[in-house]
Amino acid sequence: MGPLTGLACVLALVCALVALTPRAASAQLFGDNPPPVPPASVPESGILTGPAVSLAPPSGPAATPSLPAPLLQPPMAPAAPQPVVGADQGVLSLTARFGKDLPVITSGLTWRIYADKPNAAGAFQLVREERSATPSIVLPPGGYIVYVNLGLVNAVRPIVLHRDTLRESFELPAGGLRIEGRVGATKIPPGQISFSIYKGSQFEVGERSPIAQNIPAGDVVLVPEGTYYIISNYGDANSIVRSDIRVQVGKLTDVTVTHRAAVITLKLVSNKGGEALANTAWSVITPAGDVIKESIGAFPHMVLSEGEYRAIAKNEGKVYQREFNVSNGVDGEVEVLAR
CB within 8 Å of 104: residues ≥ 6 apart: 95, 96, 97, 133, 134
In a domain, 241, yes or no: yes
Residues in the chain: 339
Of 21, 159, 26, 8, whose CA–CA distance to 93 is shortest? 159
Domain termination residue (choose one: 258, 292, 321): 258
17 and 115 together in one domain? yes
Instruction: Give me the sheet containing 318-326, strands edge to edge.
Output: 291-296, 281-285, 307-315, 318-326
pLDDT of residue 133: 94
Q: What does the pLDDT read at residue 23?
A: 34
The answer to whether residues 130 and 146 touch, using CB atoms and an 8 Å cutoff, is no
Q: Per the confidence metrics, is the pTM higher than 0.75? A: no
Q: Which pLDDT value is given to residue 47?
A: 58
Task: State the distance between the two ends of the chain, measured CA to CA, in whole angstroms.
Answer: 84
Rounded Cα distance, 194 and 153, in Å: 22
Amino acid at 276: A
Same domain, 249 and 296: no
pLDDT digits (tens, 9 = 90+) for 33-58: 333 333 333 344 465 655 555 554 44
Residue 305 and residue 206 share a domain: no
Residue 219 domain-assigned (yes or no): yes
Write down which residue in 144, 171, 198 finishes a domain. 171
Residues 16 and 51 in one domain: no
Whether residue 218 is found in the same domain as residue 332: no
* Same structural domain, 49 and 186: yes
Would you tell me how many other CB atoms lie within 10 Å of the CB of residue 91?
17
Q: Is the same domain home to 274 and 305? A: yes
For residue 192, what is the DSSP state? G
Q: Which of 199, 189, 213, 238 is nearest to 33 (CA)?
A: 213
- Grouping H, G, I as helix, E, B as strand and the rest as coil, residue 338 is coil
The domain that contains 307 carries what CATH number? 2.60.40.10
Spatial distance between the Cα atoms of 129 and 112, rounded to a whole number of angstroms: 4
> Is 73 within a domain?
no
* pLDDT score of 85: 62
Give the per-residue pLDDT at 101.
82
Residue 88: per-residue pLDDT: 84
Q: How many helices (H) and strands (E) does the chain have?
A: 1, 23
pLDDT for position 53:
56
In this structure, the answer to whether residues 167 and 310 fall within a common structural domain is: no
CATH number, domain at 157?
Answer: 2.60.40.1120
Model pLDDT, residue 46: 60
Domain membership of residue 301 as a residue range: 261-337
Is 68 part of a structural domain of the chain?
no
* pLDDT beneath 70: ranges in the chain: 1-86
In a domain, 48, yes or no: yes
252 and 179 in a single domain? The answer is yes
* pLDDT of amino acid 125: 94
Contact 244, 227 (CB under 8 A): yes
Q: Are strands 251-258 and 174-183 parallel, antiparallel or unpaired?
A: parallel
What's the CA gap between 102 and 248, in Å, rounded? 13
In a domain, 72, yes or no: no
Distance CA 60, CA 81 (A): 30
Residue at 200 is within a domain: yes
Quote the number of domains for the chain. 3
Which pLDDT score, from 0 to 100, does residue 9 have? Answer: 54
Q: Is 330 helix (H, G, I), strand (E, B) or coil?
A: coil
Nearest Cα neighbor of 68 from 48, 51, 53 is: 53
Same-domain check for residues 179 and 167 = no
Residue 17 lies in a domain: yes
Among 138, 171, 204, which residue terminates a domain? 171
User: Within this chain, do residues 7 and 134 fall inside the same structural domain, yes or no?
Assistant: yes
Q: What is the pLDDT of residue 67?
A: 34
Phi, psi of 6 (to 5 degrees): -60, -40
Residues 187, 42 within the same domain: yes
Which CATH number do you get for residue 180?
Answer: 2.60.40
C-alpha distances (whole Å) from 268 to each of 92, 279, 283, 287, 311 are: 70, 10, 12, 20, 10
β-pair type (281-285, 307-315): antiparallel
Alpha carbon distances (Å) from 167 to 95, 134, 161: 8, 10, 10
